[in-house]
A and B are shown apart, each in its own frame.
Chain A
Amino acid sequence: MASHRGTSVIIVDDHPAILAGVSAWCAAADPPISVLGRGPDAGAAWHDPGRAADVVVLDLYLTGPGPGYGDLRRLADSGRPVVVYTMREDQDIALTCLELGAATYLTKAEGEAHLIEAIRAAARHVPYVPPILAGAMGTDSRSGRPRLTPREVDVLLEWFQCESKDTVSKVLNLSVNTINCYLDRVRIKYANAGRPARTKATLVARAIQDGLVSLDEL
């Protein structure tokens, strides 16, 4: 549906400046991303006009006491791609969001460079790995983590530290395409691990269709 009428988004954030800023970035994108609605809580994503949006941009810390994992889980389980967009650069929170089925985890410090691309990727159900998320996956020491190859870890950590794929490409002597391929494959490994969620299944299915990973590798 995204291909017919362009990508649409609903923005959930309790800070008016963020709502205005993200709306402005979406309007300035080429082609533009249409903002179907914006609101201070996840209800905006469930009711018209936000219900029809391709992607939900969700601030994880709304008015409640802790992170809004419940909102994220409900959206992911119903198949809505969610770009978590937060102030927090926290490994546990990032990995928990992936586990619950977020499309990607983006910090506000990274926003300008990555948010539009992350929204487009989420709408197409393809992986998008910003640097902080790469760092969180590359240093993951939890017991249930997916098995990564040393090369995959290298790519994740270089991307986390350099924030520039050109630099990573020079350091590791790999093409930018290969680097993207490594990042996407790691993201699919994470989507294939832990609790099931509709968004995770869609991400894995799409990766298999695109030939990014084969069934045997999973």
Chain B
Amino acid sequence: MPNIWRRLRGQLFYQVCALMGIAFLLVFAYTPMVGLIIAFKNFKLTSGIPGFITSEWVGFKWFIEFYNDINFWQIIRNTVAISLLKLFFTFPIPILFALVLNEVRKHSVKRTVQTVSYLPHFISWIVVSGMIFSFFNEQTGVVNHFLVSTGLADKPISFLSDPAYFWPMAVLSDIWKEMGWWTIIFLAAIVGVDPALYEAAVVDGASRMQRIWYITLPTIKGTIIIVLILSIGNLFGGGLGGSNFEQSYLLGNPVNNGVSEILQTYTLKMGLAQGRYSYATAIGLIQSVISLLLIYLSNYLSKRFSGVGLF
């Protein structure tokens, strides 16, 4: 025992840091889970916190109501499609960008590109949505003005309202906003690669592409897998950017609703805005359970095929 205490005392700073993390998770992640109980109860807003206990049990009533909702399949389709499209496009791009940046030899160019690419991460989605409106709207948008004046389009294109453009806009704006930020993570991993490996490869006559393929990528595989598992865990939230809700809420409108309505916006509209917290919790719980299963699945597959896993 004394040994343990001595060891803990030696790690005091790190232990305090870890404890703060654990306390954060306990307070903000685990304690609120008590509220999940209302997904199975007829909780009324006016009953307040005691209503968690006192309201009547209704079993799976809210889950069944959501399943029978006329929009159920459309919402599920939109949520899954937007999430998969983002994972497919937004996940590999920061890796490619990091590899390219790593090959840039001129330090000032590398720095400038890096800074310019990660700055959009700090712009909030509300500002980004305003910028998208200014650039792409039909009446006064710069893009439409350019397309029509150069003859590239006969008439202005309804980027903001035509449902056909919502998914591409969501993916592209997410790439623009978050690519630079995630590149930093992968660049940091690349910096950790032992330079001796590259030197040996050069001596052996390896080309630049071969060095990337046989040294850089295998070395940062662990980081890639961990980020991938976390992204899949947050698949319905929008993967790396975690931006599904913001995009659908801000860029969604009655015109493109058929393709922009997702689980989170529906929860807000039909659950929270109407004070139907039980219904909202049930929908949120469905999403959480699916996300948990996805984490386990991706971790299992990763371990099976690459030998690397998060747990």
Same complex origin of A and B: no
Spell out A's residues near B (CB within 8 Å): none
Spell out B's residues near A (CB within 8 Å): none
